[in-house]
Structures are given as C-alpha cells and as structure tokens.
Amino acid sequence: MIYKLLDRIKAFDCVEAIAIAGSRASGNADEKSDYDVYVYYTSAPVPEQERSALYNEFCRYSETGNKYFEYEDNIILNDNIPADIIFRSLDGLCAFLARTVEEYRASNGYTTCFWHNLVTSKIYYDRDGRLKAAQERFDVPYPEKLRENIIRRNADLLSGKMPSYDKQIIKAGSRGDIVSLNHRTAAFLESYFDIIFALNRLTHPGEKKLTEICKRECKLLPADFEKNLNSLFEHLFSDIEKTKNDLAVIVKEMNILLSENGFGTEN
C-alpha cells in the first residue's frame, strides 16, 4: 500500500526524491513500526489539497500539514500501518549537515541524528540523482574533530559545570518538582547517549530503542551500563538521595570510559 501511494506522490513535478528511513529501512521493524518517508521537493512541497485527495484514496485516517516537528503528514494506511510523510528541501538538509559533518558543530544531544537519517535512508525515487549525491557526500568516516566536540560539550552538560544536568536534577528532586525532574533527566540522557554514539564513532539513530541499540552495536560502553540506567529510573521519582547516588555512579563510569579512551575530564 505504501509503495502505491509513493508512486502517485513521485508523479508531482515538485518532487525530486523520496526515501524511506527508520526501522522499516534498517530491518529493525516490529509490528508497531510505522513508515518514515521523506519527500524531497524543489521549490515547494506538493499542495496540501492534492495530498489530502490522495490520502482519501489510500488511507483510513490522515492529518495533513502538521508542523509540530518537521512539516509532515501523519497517516494510517488502509492496511492499518501508520506512516509519517515528511517534506524537506534537499538543499536545506545539506546545508544543515554541512555544519555538523564538515564544520564539526556539536549540539546538546542528538547531534548526528539527521546525518544518520540521510546516510541510512533507502532511496525509493531520485529523479535527478541529487539525493544519491547527497548520500555520497556525507558518507564519510566519522570526523575526529566532531567526535571530540560532541564528547566535550555533552560531558560538561552531564556534570562538572554550574548548569550541568545532574545538579539541575538533584535540585528539582529536592524541591519535589517532578515536571522539572522529568525534563532535566531527559536532557541528561540526550547528552549521555550522544557521548556514547560519538565515542563509538556511530551516528545517532534517534530516540527509540537506544539501550538495545547500544548493547548490540557499541563496543565502548560504561561499566554496568544497563544496570545503572535501570537503577536511576527505579529511584527517580521516589528517592532523591538514591537518585543522587545513581547519577554520581553513571557520571563516574562515563568519566572512567572517557579517560580510558583519551578524553580526560575534570569531574
């Protein structure tokens, strides 16, 4: 069903390429997996009215033109498989990736997700070959300067600086502010996993199944990686003193791992 729909979408003049990414492209799909489809356009995406007409034919439910994350349509196909159809400018994506891959700019977590998305996508349609050219441009060894920048920046965010997340988590827990506690813990883990993937010279696969992916694909992991994460979640909303200890252990094991791999820390 999805491919019948994509064949209709690719017929629009403004569509220059289509790619499928995520678990459906990587082979890690399960019964709950959706399709992540990226439609690359030239000057403007397919008009919403024409997309809605297509979805009426192929989908039992659709939402057109959502802008909460990227510009996308969220649909459930007639075969009951959901799909996210994201519309992107290929030139815009390449400009963004140049700043990451070629200028080595690190972010607060998730630094290499868009890079991962591009190079692991499976091309379904590529009218002028520009999507394949973009994949080839960014299919390069992990830049050591980018690796260093990601690790340094996100290690500081874990602990050791006045704004570091561990301090913010402890403060929120001491106040009983569970919303802030949840928010800062999520940020802590964003930086934590960004460090792990960078240390292993792996692009970041996104937000799902990270523990399983790390255990399967990362040769370098902090000691008691999964055990320490489970302990943090066990105590997070119930015991601030144990949470404080959990954070200290996670940071300690990360610092040991970094030191063993040439990244000294001040923590």
Q: Could you state, in order of their start, the residue ranges of all structural domains in the chain?
A: 2-138, 144-260
Cα 213–chain centre separation: 13
Q: What pLDDT is attached to residue 24? A: 60
pTM: 0.92
Alpha helices in the chain (DSSP H): 2-9, 23-26, 48-58, 90-97, 113-120, 130-138, 144-158, 165-175, 178-199, 210-217, 225-235, 240-260
Strand order in the sheet with 122-126: 59-66, 72-77, 82-89, 35-41, 15-21, 122-126
Q: What pLDDT is attached to residue 27? A: 58
Burial of 241 (0-12, 13-18, 19+ CB in 10 A): exposed
Q: What pLDDT is attached to residue 1? A: 86
CATH class (in words) of the domain with range 2-138: alpha beta
pLDDT tens sequence for the chain (267 residues): 899 999 999 999 999 999 998 766 555 556 667 899 999 999 899 999 999 999 999 999 999 999 999 999 999 999 999 999 999 999 999 999 999 999 999 999 999 999 999 999 999 999 999 999 999 999 999 999 999 999 999 999 999 999 999 999 999 999 999 999 999 999 999 999 999 999 999 999 998 899 999 999 999 999 999 999 999 999 999 999 999 999 999 999 999 999 999 997 554
Contacts 24+ apart (CB under 8 A), 196-200: 196/220, 196/221, 196/222, 197/112, 198/111, 198/112, 198/142, 198/146, 198/147, 198/150, 198/151, 198/154, 199/147, 199/151, 199/257, 199/258, 199/261, 199/263
**Residues near 22 by Cβ (< 8 Å), separated by ≥ 6?**
33, 34, 35, 36, 206
Given a contact cutoff of 8 angstroms between Cβ atoms, the answer to whether 185 and 169 are in contact is yes
Given a contact cutoff of 8 angstroms between Cβ atoms, the answer to whether 154 and 108 are in contact is yes
Q: What pLDDT is attached to residue 267? A: 43
C-alpha to C-alpha distances, 113 to 21, 100, 140, 227, nearest whole angstrom: 12, 10, 15, 26
Kindly report the backbone phi and psi dihedral angles of residue 38, in degrees, each rounded to the nearest multiple of 5, phi listed first: -115, 120
Q: What pLDDT is attached to residue 31? A: 67
Kindly report the backbone phi and psi dihedral angles of residue 74, in degrees, each rounded to the nearest multiple of 5, phi listed first: -115, 120
